[in-house]
Amino acid sequence: MLENRRILLIVAGGIAAVKVPDLIRRLRERGAHVRCILTKGGAQFVTPLTLAALSGDKCYQELFDLKDESEMGHIRLSREADIILVAPATADIMAKMVAGMADDLATTALLATDKPVMIAPSMNVMMWTHPATQSNLQILKTREVKVVGPSAGDLACGEVGNGRMAEVPEIIAALTRFFQKNDGQGPLTGYKALVTSGPTHEPIDPVRYIANRSSGKQGHAVAAALAELGAQVTLVSGPTHEADPDGVNVVHVETAKQMMKACNDALPAEIVVCAAAVADWSPENAKQKMKKEAGKTPALTLAENPDILATLSQPGPARPNLVVGFAAETENLIENAKTKRAKKNCDWIVANDVSPGSGAFGGDNNTVHLVTADGVESWPTLRKRAVAERLAERIAASFQRHL
């Protein structure tokens, strides 16, 4: 998908600029044409000669270059590209993009472009989490700027946390997904996918219910990632505060029984991802609000809910080609995930630790282990969106192998 794509790469002033030479090499290996703009800050980490040699084109730096600006260079650069990629995207250049500043060649090209823009943020964790940066990020997203990363890990400053620029393969994958979606030729085009997400609410009486702490962030991200790869996605969601993903058919439910019915209605599908935290039991539902009586504690009679993952994994001609479950565990993570995969008869299990302090429930990051018949693959701590994208890519790759 990158063959003959024209990428204008803006290199801003962050230590992650040292990854850019490898990024250029990998893009050119895939047939992309790369042209670089190097900011003054970026030139502190990588030289224009290096970028020019690797890209096979001139490295542009100065806004008021006599020859280039006699040809309206900043307009030409921004209009001749298929996409503008800012990597690394520092807090400074993100703020300038939001403010519409044009005080150097990079920001002027960004302001003058009519082409899609993608950024790969990179900065100190405190800078990334600062309300100003997060506000700028949301504004850029409303302007349809694509974002890849950042991920969590060791930072150049010696601290640990979010702010690490996405790795080169992740950036290339994000570019590939963009062009696939833009061309309507994603690797999952023609496939139907069913995703469950969020908690279920099991009513005790008309005003009370049993639930869990699932936010739905991971499941919703998986649905969005599969849709971006071209799949026709139905998302069956329990009660969450998450917005419905674009390009996805969303069915809202509350209880496990309702979710089971919605899943059956969405079949047949080639792909099923059960990311919802479905309640195992539901109480006998009182028709009226239960009243508190002094000295008396009401007894709840619980009945077992349908096992959605096991039901969808049952052998038979209608079974989806790939069924992926999630295992939220607080102890013996890998062993419990292996046991669950065998018991449920599903193909893959995505295991994650949800014990107190992990930050998995309700947080934006996740540390998961992919359990398959081939073994266990441990992934680094990533944003839930990045986990979803990596999982969707693995799903697409598994289907491509069987074509």
Residue 197: name the closest of 148, 263, 149, 247 by CA. Answer: 263
Higher pLDDT, 299 or 210: 210
Q: Residue 254: pLDDT above 80?
A: yes
How far apart CA 233 and CA 129 sit, in angstroms, is: 32
pLDDT given for residue 403 in this prediction: 45
Domains 6-182 and 187-401 share a fold: yes
How far apart CA 96 and CA 107 sit, in angstroms, is: 7
Out of 3.90.550.10, 1.25.40.10, 3.40.50.1950, 3.40.50.720, which CATH number does the structure's domain 6-182 have? 3.40.50.1950
Q: Do 271 and 189 meet the contact criterion of CB atoms below 8 Å apart?
A: no
| One-letter identity of residue 153 | G
pLDDT, tens only, 114-154: 999 999 999 988 899 899 999 999 899 889 899 988 876 66
For residue 293, the cross-strand partners are 296
Q: Residue 57: pLDDT above 80?
A: yes
SS3 387: helix
pLDDT, tens only, 350-375: 999 877 565 566 678 888 999 999 99
Residue 308: name the closest of 334, 277, 351, 347 by CA. Answer: 277
Q: Which fold has domain 187-401?
A: Rossmann fold (3.40.50)
| Candidates 157, 263, 274, 346; catalytic one | 157
Q: Where are the domains of the chain?
A: 6-182, 187-401
How far apart CA 30 and CA 45 sit, in angstroms, is: 25
SS3 62: coil
Is 157 one of the catalytic residues? yes
Name the pTM for this structure.
0.63
**How many Å separate Cα 143 from the centre of its chain?**
18
Q: Give the DSSP H or E segment for 322.
A: strand 322-329
Which residues fall within 8 angstroms of residue 378, CB to CB, at 6 or more apart?
Answer: 369
Q: Residue 68: pLDDT above 60?
A: no
Strand 202-203, strand 192-197: pairing: unpaired
pLDDT given for residue 186 in this prediction: 79
pLDDT given for residue 66 in this prediction: 47
Angle made by CA atoms 169, 243, 200, in degrees to the nearest 5 = 105
